[in-house]
Chain A
Amino acid sequence: MKKLIGHGLWAGVALVAAFCLAGLALNRGEHVNSMWIVLAAICTYLVGFRFYGKFIAARVMHLDNERATPAERLRDGHDFEPTNKWIVFGHHFAAIAGPGPLVGPVLAAQFGYLPGTLWIIVGCVIGGAVQDFVILFSSIRRDGKSLGQMAREEIGKLGGFTALLTVFLIMIVLLAAVALVVVNALKGSPWGTFTIAATMPIAVFMGLYLRYWRPGKVLECSVIGFVLVVFSIVGGEWVAQSAVLAPWFTFSGLTLAFAIVVYGFLASALPVWLLLAPRDYLSTFVKLGVVIMLACGILLVRPPMNLPAFTRFTDGNGPIFAGNIFPFCFITIACGAISGFHSLISSGTTPKLIAREWHAWPVGYGSMLMEGFVAIMAMVAACALEPGVYFAVNSPAGVVGATAEQAVATVSSWGFPVTAAQMQALAEQVGETSLFFRTGGAPSLALGMAHIFAQTGGGTALIGFWYHFAIMFEALFILTIIDAGTRVGRFMLQDLLGHIYAPFGRGGWKGGRVLVSALVVACWGYFLYQGVIDTLGGINSLWPLFGIANQLLAAIALCVATTILIKMHRARYMWITCVPLLWLLAVTFTAGLQKIFSPAPRVGFLAQAARLEASLASGIADPARTAEVKAMIFNARLDAFMCAIFLVLVSLVVLDSARLWIGIFRGTREARVLESPFVQSQLRTEDL
């Protein structure tokens, strides 16, 4: 009887999912409520978790709770420690949740809410969650080895080296792309800039507090830090209204970019406990808190989706970024549906904390579904804005015109009416001088979130506070990614350069460390600079480049996962990883080739360089801007080169993997499973 009720309940959940998805897919011309999307996502994720995730766990990977995990076998009180599954879940989710699932869906909303929403729902269940889960399982069975180590051991040396190089290059593009998001959110905004600047002395205060005054009291210190950050948001309004102080915190994009580059260098060179670690604690708690707040806000407010299901920009002429719905919607959503970076987390700390193999199911598969839900919330927040406002905020001046009047005229001509007075009123409401040309997604997401939060209490009087609270939340953890990423990039480059000149290695001289730090900062700083001077907003070139790189890393992870399944003699289930792998290869190679070779200058880097060159040769370009145009030509070619490098690197891994798979099927290559041997678990449930 109990079983029958269970079946009935799951059938009900599946029916609600199908009903909501059908409702979304078939609805045209009317505003739908966001609850349709939220329910469709929750119910699909529940069904995917219960049936598909469990099928992979039981039938494909044969998870075994009797088998001791590395956390139990190698327990050392530091890295390896059997931990309660919900604690590991929280830890893993906090580690995988970054700005990608927030920014990507906001940008992809230019196609309308439907394409992105469907991909976030479906892509998570059959792609992202599968990748995270299988890599986590593989790492657990291999003593917590990293993706690079597994790629080297399972596929070959080429796979391992390529994975390392790809991660480094992706990191450079990622840091530049997310830094650009912060720059575009803060330029010309004394309120936002003051708030973010204040988080630095607050982090230093926290660092000193933890190290000398109250060692070990991280939660207590984080509460104090959070209260100080809230005060800084309130203080930011006062600064913005002060005729004396406001100019001190009003910067252009280039100045902010330079400041972030200097910050990245200092943060990676300063002792970790002083700035990086306290900021990381604070940003983790703020991030989780805001995600929960946003979920509660959406459930309480239930905003309507003001953007249509599809916009006219499915044709590839979108103002935010150019390119057709296939492949660019999928590239742009990136981490919201599947993220290569998650494979690094799934083969990092998490496998060393998993107490029982079956815990990998909620932790690996479930956390990614949760991340998908964060992406859905970002989509709802963006689409709840008036479409005219959404496009006026996100479109660059190079597309819609340099003045407010030109911009509203262009956006209105697309069928999304908006007026300059409406934009000015909105800017004043949130304490900004202007909201035009705020490319990058963060300001429009903050606007959407502020409207949702304001409707739950406080009304329009608090919109300014909530807008800057959301900007602070986005900038805070993006800056944490920048300083931590620069540091990790330094380690990677030190490892690589150490092979060429030994003193550059980890144990090398201090000057070498400073030089390598400066080199890493210069690499991403240059991409940031090119994004800032780009008349198309920078996001048009940097975000797709980041999306392609990230999805290609996922392709490498899925190659490793497929190889492991084949070696485990589960080839009949290899479609589980091969389907998302083939999809990713189709999407990324189409996008990559289009970004390099498309004849449309807003899509193809080479075409863009050729157009700029022609404008220089024919004298159309303003002579005063010759140097800038030449830099843009170089940048477009550099982007094309980076894109080509990514495609070549991943092609090498895929071909190397395919050669191995064919060899195993033909019997010419050995299918040796490199798992650690079975050891009976002695762990008792009460130990957790």
Chain B
Amino acid sequence: MSALRGFAGLVLRILRELSDENAYERHLRAHGVKHSGEEWRRFCAHRFEAKYRRPKCC
């Protein structure tokens, strides 16, 4: 049961990484700021600028 819980936790962490939610949490920690709409938009501006400068795979 604990193995199943661990697996589900891992899947959730992967999904959170893919959705940039983990990256946003790291951003809040690194800058010592709290979540707000403004902060999320600031994070997105930086994140998307880097993310969509790289080609997507075929």
Contacts and interface: CB of A to CB of B under 8 A. Distances in A.
Interface of A: 76-79, 81, 83-84, 86-87, 90-91, 94-100, 167, 171, 174, 178, 210-212, 215-216, 218-219, 222, 272-273, 276-277, 281, 284-285, 288, 334-335, 339, 341-342, 344-345, 348-349, 480-481, 484-485, 487-488, 491, 546, 550
Given A99-B58, A485-B55, 15 more contacts: A77-B27, A78-B46, A81-B23, A94-B18, A95-B56, A96-B57, A215-B35, A215-B36, A216-B24, A222-B19, A281-B18, A285-B19, A288-B18, A344-B54, A487-B52
18 contacts: A77-B30, A77-B31, A84-B10, A84-B13, A87-B17, A91-B17, A167-B55, A211-B37, A211-B40, A211-B41, A218-B20, A219-B15, A273-B41, A341-B55, A341-B57, A481-B58, A487-B52, A488-B56
B13 A87 contact: yes
Contacts of A334: 58
Contacts of B16: 219
B41 A78 contact: no
Contact of B18 (A99, A210, A284): A284
B29 interface: yes
Smallest CB-CB A-B distances: 6 pairs: A77-B30, A215-B40, A218-B19, A90-B14, A272-B48, A215-B37
With most chain B CB atoms within 10 A of its CB, the pick from A81, A167, A276, A335 is A81
Contacts of A222: 19
A134 B5 CA distance: 34
Given A281-B19, A284-B18, A95 B46 contact: no
Given A81-B26, A84-B13, A272-B52, A91 B18 contact: yes
Q: Is the interface of B mostly helix, strand, loop or mixed?
A: helix
Nearest to B38: A215
A342 B57 contact: yes
A360 B58 CA distance: 21
Contacts of A95: 56-57
A334 B37 CA distance: 43
A86 B21 CA distance: 16
A98 B46 contact: no
B18 A285 contact: yes
B21 A219 contact: yes
Nearest to A488: B55
B58 A335 contact: yes
Contacts of A276: 48, 52
Contacts of A90: 14, 17-18
B21 A218 contact: yes
B3 interface: no
B3 to A, nearest CB: 14
A280 to B, nearest CB: 8
Contact of A484 (B27, B46, B56): B56
Nearest to B30: A77
B1 interface: no
Interface residues on B, range: 35 or more
With most chain A CB atoms within 10 A of its CB, the pick from B10, B23, B57 is B57
Contacts of A210: 40
A86 B10 contact: yes
A136 to B, nearest CB: 14
A212 B53 CA distance: 24
Contacts of A81: 23, 26
Nearest to A76: B30
B26 to A, nearest CB: 5
A341 B58 contact: yes
A276 B51 CA distance: 11
Contacts of B8: none
Contacts of A335: 57-58
A482 B49 CA distance: 17
B50 interface: yes
B5 to A, nearest CB: 15
A83 B54 CA distance: 20
A272 B55 CA distance: 15
Contacts of B56: 95, 98, 480-481, 484-485, 488
A376 B37 CA distance: 44
A215 B24 CA distance: 11
Contacts of B31: 77
Contact of B57 (A285, A345, A487): A345
With most chain A CB atoms within 10 A of its CB, the pick from B29, B40, B46 is B40
B52 to A, nearest CB: 5
A369 B14 CA distance: 19
Nearest to A146: B54
A78 B30 contact: yes
B58 A100 contact: yes
B17 A78 contact: no
Given A488-B53, A491-B53, A78 B27 contact: yes
B12 to A, nearest CB: 9
B19 A339 contact: no
Contacts of A550: 58
Contact of A277 (B15, B17, B44): B44
A216 B40 contact: yes
A171 B14 contact: no
B44 A273 contact: yes
Nearest to B31: A77
With most chain B CB atoms within 10 A of its CB, the pick from A78, A216, A222, A550 is A216
A77 B29 contact: yes
With most chain A CB atoms within 10 A of its CB, the pick from B17, B31, B58 is B58
Contacts of A76: 30
B36 to A, nearest CB: 8
A91 B21 CA distance: 13
A256 B8 CA distance: 41
B32 to A, nearest CB: 10
Contact of A285 (B15, B22, B54): B15
A337 B23 CA distance: 31
Nearest to A506: B53
A91 B53 CA distance: 17
B55 A344 contact: yes
Nearest to B43: A216
A83 B47 CA distance: 17
A85 to B, nearest CB: 11
A95 B22 CA distance: 17
B58 A178 contact: yes
Contacts of A171: 55
A266 to B, nearest CB: 15
With most chain A CB atoms within 10 A of its CB, the pick from B18, B20, B36 is B18
